[in-house]
Chain A
């Protein structure tokens, strides 16, 4: 870990004005500190944002919920409003990390966690995401955990979050403040695919700070499921995860949301797949078709090609579970 300066502002504008070259905001620190210890991140300045007034969960005028960026993952998952109206989000959060990490990790920070690609984490080996232009050993190396959708020549890493998969499915909106003022970013536009700039995980501009996540009114509380498949029952990142949410009326699907985790550089959604379900009976044939559409263009590498078939089965299972009704 390199030497750095440290500041703990109490106002949002103060935090943003402190942000300079090689600065990093820090909240729970559950990922950033690890990365600093491994010399993957070498900030000159840490701006501790835990003194900012961003830790509340409030209902919005249009029936949604606004979640402060500093609300801990644990507080969010166990919040009565979330449990009741957005059980998909609560379940996704509880499928990730460990109780200790969820107690520390912030909502905003969860969006910004970096990939768990082995090569990214080991600063003695090449990695285009860590050091652009050095190469991607994962392509011909250990790629069992890696992407089957949206990968590029430069990078085949996946985004590790569970919470973000649910937020993507729920059409969350990210509230951001920065040197240029405030803006709102649709969740699907927040993270990005690696392309030729794998070092950029998301569309935040330099110095921008996540202040809140807003959920729209539709929570799909009746028919949702989060299915996570991994190498052990807890404390492992997803090989494939599925957030499935359905609005069903008389056995017929009126609206559908499906997001995949563990398969791409961002939570993966496909409008055509979701549209294909509308007006269909909530039964396996429709689920199968949606899965095929969602996985169109998927391609694997030496060790992860199995994820395509695994994802297909997981999508069908998650949709079937959602159709049966949200599990208690």
Chain B
């Protein structure tokens, strides 16, 4: 195929719509007579509502409804309908279900009015009396209540305790990470359009339109009467993997009033549902004197809610990333009076690999080995957790090419050995790893009389570039220019797609798109063979090419038919496919890898840190679009820097409430915090992972970055800070002037 768009750094196909404001988000779909809801949230962390007085709010002209657990429409009374595709074990939270308060910030009322300002004002007039009960929100204070997480960890291998006791070098380390919130730019919002027949058409901010549809159908007993639309999503990072409470509240109000209702959360309310859980992680590392690993143990303790167990893959990476004969992993949860945590970019890996990669850095110094060399000498050719070979693993190339690009060979190994005036310079590195998943997915490809190819699947584009890469895959398959392909997503009535998460969308939906287009190729070939005096008679698919809008015979390229002519003769052609992950995957482990190199400048007396340079070398199979993939990695690196230095949702444990609930006090990096970021993709050929050979890059960009920053800070200062974020006060202690 000539000029295939796959592999090209193309601009986003949805870019013009976004920059001209034509792309509408969930809270931007207008309707005459639309009502606006404003959520009232609990100020206590645990207890009961004993009295609600909504009279003052209801008396405000323009207020249509104050909805509470006392007057809501009927909802399902058992757990199952509330168990969405990303639910953990336990009883999912049910908005406005009863008088119980399970966490501070829980929605307790929805005020619905003619406009948002009125609704918000009336919300301030709703009087709620609570009977508070003692609450617990501090993970460290509740470690005695930890229980084993219900996850299938790889079985222990060897005898880690024995190997640790015999190791030349033994390190026992504890790391901690704070609660972090996703904070996508677009707050969560739902616009529920109440249709004439009582059906609902809902614009929702979500990473899974069909997940939300099934959830609402179950909760409200409305099988077949709900359609969810989400054509554009202003970032999500996992926050849209589960239906959030504004969707339920807006639906309740619409059903109660038989009117269309919009509920958009304000920024402060973005801190009243899921988040990355706080963790305490204990690692023991045993090695011989050269730094060859003999034993690794990794115990993670995470927080969860009192009603659901949230689990993520936090410790598995420690059994997988390095060659080590004796490994023991453990994962525990502590239930607290908080909302359930939620998958957030590289869930589990972001914090688990942070701890592992800091521990590896500590081992490098203990053994007197260069950090890159240490990792190369412990390189794993097989995933020992599963005892399987990798479908592909170009991590060695990541180390080599990343180090070369960074100039790692110029590094002076001693801490505090590089400086510029008041600034100590530090160079640190870390490895990143993420799974290369594939989920079942479906897609439809249709070519109509206008010669346009319309491909669709109920997936999402959360800013990742789904529209663009799917268009590339389809255009490439049928030899069409990008402009002749229209990819549709974000509609629950489209072909079944999995949740848009886990870096699996290209792998899953992309493979379905390719298969649907392959099916369409066959139908076009069948059709062309029906045309009079067809030169294609007897040809099979492998005998033809699709290029420049035509089908040509490989053996005789003069024989070409424009696809439009085939459609004109045969009529509209359509293929829908559903595909499963390939069986060939069963015999392999599949993963993406990265090597991250960071330079920091630390003011020796004042403790301020600047990340001046970052190099991220990525092995993720075939890259469909280096531009959108590069964007994802840059975003991940920025986030990793924020994780290392800035991000922390601060809980007042006396009140049981997150207090820095806005973007002024919840710090993420600003432009001034970010230096040069250099992303490179190493060659990685993979025929196993899926038919595209592409692994997905949504998560890998953040994994390892925080560790590389922490390791660079150690190299600069000689001070090892084992709790994130590394704020200047933590570096100030015993820093010299």
> Which chain A residues have a beta carbon within 8 Å of chain B's beta carbons?
1-3, 37-39, 116, 118-119, 121-122, 124-125, 137, 140-142, 144, 229, 231-237, 239, 306, 309-310, 313-314, 316-317
Chain A residue at minimal CB-CB distance from B730: A306
CA distance A231 to B652 in the complex (A): 19
Q: Quote the shortest CB–CB distance from A117 to chain B (angstroms).
A: 10
Q: Are A317 and B605 in contact (CB under 8 A)?
A: yes
Q: Quote the shortest CB–CB distance from A14 to chain B (angstroms).
A: 28
Q: Does B737 contact A (CB under 8 A)?
A: yes
Q: Quote the shortest CB–CB distance from A27 to chain B (angstroms).
A: 20
**B607 to chain A: which residues have CB within 8 Å?**
310
Chain A residue at minimal CB-CB distance from B725: A231
Q: Are A233 and B670 in contact (CB under 8 A)?
A: yes
Of the listed stretches B68-76, B475-483, B656-664, name the one at the interface; the rest are far from the partner chain.
B656-664
**B608 to chain A: which residues have CB within 8 Å?**
229
Q: Quote the shortest CB–CB distance from A285 to chain B (angstroms).
A: 13
CA distance A122 to B121 in the complex (A): 15
CA distance A309 to B736 in the complex (A): 12
Q: Are A122 and B645 in contact (CB under 8 A)?
A: no
Q: Are A314 and B606 in contact (CB under 8 A)?
A: yes
Q: Quote the shortest CB–CB distance from B26 to chain A (angstroms).
A: 21
Interface centre among A231, A234, A310, by most chain B C-beta atoms within 10 angstroms, is A231
Q: Are A313 and B671 in contact (CB under 8 A)?
A: no
CA distance A232 to B644 in the complex (A): 12
Chain A residue at minimal CB-CB distance from B674: A233
**A317 to chain B: which residues have CB within 8 Å?**
605-606
Q: Quote the shortest CB–CB distance from A20 to chain B (angstroms).
A: 21
- State whether A229 and B728 are in contact (beta carbons under 8 Å apart), knowing that A125-B43, A234-B670, A235-B670 are contacts in the complex: yes
Q: Are B652 and A137 in contact (CB under 8 A)?
A: yes
29 inter-chain pairs at a CB distance below 8 angstroms, sorted by A residue, are A1-B117, A1-B120, A1-B121, A3-B121, A116-B665, A118-B660, A125-B652, A125-B657, A125-B659, A137-B652, A137-B655, A141-B655, A141-B659, A142-B659, A229-B606, A229-B728, A231-B646, A231-B667, A231-B727, A232-B646, A232-B670, A234-B670, A234-B671, A235-B670, A236-B667, A306-B733, A310-B732, A313-B737, A316-B737
Q: Does B184 contact A (CB under 8 A)?
A: no
Q: Does B672 contact A (CB under 8 A)?
A: yes
**B605 to chain A: which residues have CB within 8 Å?**
313, 317
Q: Quote the shortest CB–CB distance from B610 to chain A (angstroms).
A: 7
| Chain B contact residues: helix, strand, loop or mixed | loop
- State whether A232 and B673 are in contact (beta carbons under 8 Å apart), knowing that A118-B659, A122-B661, A310-B729 are contacts in the complex: yes
Q: Does B463 contact A (CB under 8 A)?
A: no
- State whether A313 and B606 are in contact (beta carbons under 8 Å apart), knowing that A124-B43, A140-B654 are contacts in the complex: yes
CA distance A141 to B214 in the complex (A): 42
Q: Does B650 contact A (CB under 8 A)?
A: yes
Q: Quote the shortest CB–CB distance from A303 to chain B (angstroms).
A: 8
CA distance A122 to B727 in the complex (A): 24
Q: How many residues of B contact A (CB 8 A)?
A: 37
Q: Quote the shortest CB–CB distance from A109 to chain B (angstroms).
A: 17
Chain B residue at minimal CB-CB distance from A313: B605
**B727 to chain A: which residues have CB within 8 Å?**
231
Q: Quote the shortest CB–CB distance from A189 to chain B (angstroms).
A: 29
**A124 to chain B: which residues have CB within 8 Å?**
41, 43
Q: Are A306 and B606 in contact (CB under 8 A)?
A: no
**A38 to chain B: which residues have CB within 8 Å?**
268
- State whether A119 and B659 are in contact (beta carbons under 8 Å apart), knowing that A1-B121, A233-B610, A234-B672 are contacts in the complex: yes
**A233 to chain B: which residues have CB within 8 Å?**
610, 670, 672-673
**B650 to chain A: which residues have CB within 8 Å?**
118, 142
Q: Are B659 and A232 in contact (CB under 8 A)?
A: no
CA distance A230 to B646 in the complex (A): 11
- State whether A2 and B124 are in contact (beta carbons under 8 Å apart), knowing that A142-B650, A142-B652, A234-B671 are contacts in the complex: yes
Q: Does B723 contact A (CB under 8 A)?
A: no
Known contacts A142-B652, A232-B673; 12 additional CB pairs below 8 A are A118-B659, A122-B657, A125-B657, A137-B652, A141-B659, A232-B669, A232-B672, A235-B664, A239-B729, A306-B732, A310-B732, A313-B605
- For the complex of A and B, list the 10 residue pairs with the smallest distance between their C-beta atoms, beginning with the closest: A124-B43, A233-B672, A118-B659, A306-B729, A234-B672, A141-B652, A233-B673, A234-B670, A313-B605, A39-B124
Chain A residue at minimal CB-CB distance from B661: A122
Chain B, residues 85-121, CB within 8 Å of chain A (1/0): the string is 0000000000000000000000000000000010011
**B669 to chain A: which residues have CB within 8 Å?**
232
**A1 to chain B: which residues have CB within 8 Å?**
117, 120-121
CA distance A239 to B733 in the complex (A): 16
**A234 to chain B: which residues have CB within 8 Å?**
670-673
**B671 to chain A: which residues have CB within 8 Å?**
234
Q: Quote the shortest CB–CB distance from B641 to chain A (angstroms).
A: 10
Other-chain contact of A122, B120, B659, B729, B733 (Cβ < 8 Å)? B659
Q: Quote the shortest CB–CB distance from B140 to chain A (angstroms).
A: 14
Chain A residue at minimal CB-CB distance from B653: A141
Interface centre among A3, A142, A236, by most chain B C-beta atoms within 10 angstroms, is A142
- In the complex, which residues 254-293 of chain B have their Cβ closer than 8 Å to any Cβ of chain A? 268
Chain B residue at minimal CB-CB distance from A307: B729
- State whether A310 and B606 are in contact (beta carbons under 8 Å apart), knowing that A122-B659, A137-B655, A232-B667 are contacts in the complex: yes
Chain A residue at minimal CB-CB distance from B729: A306
CA distance A233 to B665 in the complex (A): 14
CA distance A87 to B331 in the complex (A): 56
CA distance A43 to B638 in the complex (A): 41
Q: Quote the shortest CB–CB distance from A231 to chain B (angstroms).
A: 5
CA distance A125 to B43 in the complex (A): 7
Q: Quote the shortest CB–CB distance from B241 to chain A (angstroms).
A: 28
**A239 to chain B: which residues have CB within 8 Å?**
728-729
**A313 to chain B: which residues have CB within 8 Å?**
605-606, 737
CA distance A144 to B659 in the complex (A): 12
Chain B residue at minimal CB-CB distance from A122: B659
Q: Are B121 and A2 in contact (CB under 8 A)?
A: yes
**A119 to chain B: which residues have CB within 8 Å?**
659
Chain B residue at minimal CB-CB distance from A118: B659
Interface centre among B606, B610, B672, B733, by most chain A C-beta atoms within 10 angstroms, is B606
**B117 to chain A: which residues have CB within 8 Å?**
1
Interface centre among B43, B268, B729, by most chain A C-beta atoms within 10 angstroms, is B729
- In the complex, which residues 590-642 of chain B have their Cβ closer than 8 Å to any Cβ of chain A? 605-608, 610
**B41 to chain A: which residues have CB within 8 Å?**
124
Q: Quote the shortest CB–CB distance from B600 to chain A (angstroms).
A: 13
- State whether A231 and B728 are in contact (beta carbons under 8 Å apart), knowing that A2-B121, A39-B124, A313-B605 are contacts in the complex: yes
CA distance A313 to B728 in the complex (A): 13
Interface centre among B646, B661, B665, B672, by most chain A C-beta atoms within 10 angstroms, is B665
- In the complex, which residues 717-737 of chain B have their Cβ closer than 8 Å to any Cβ of chain A? 727-729, 732-733, 737
CA distance A267 to B384 in the complex (A): 60
Q: Are B654 and A137 in contact (CB under 8 A)?
A: yes
Q: Are B660 and A142 in contact (CB under 8 A)?
A: yes
**A232 to chain B: which residues have CB within 8 Å?**
645-646, 667, 669-670, 672-673
**A314 to chain B: which residues have CB within 8 Å?**
606
Q: Quote the shortest CB–CB distance from B581 to chain A (angstroms).
A: 42
Q: Quote the shortest CB–CB distance from B674 to chain A (angstroms).
A: 9
**A122 to chain B: which residues have CB within 8 Å?**
657, 659, 661
CA distance A37 to B662 in the complex (A): 13
CA distance A231 to B606 in the complex (A): 12
**A142 to chain B: which residues have CB within 8 Å?**
650, 652, 659-660
CA distance A247 to B268 in the complex (A): 47
CA distance A199 to B687 in the complex (A): 68
**A306 to chain B: which residues have CB within 8 Å?**
729, 732-733
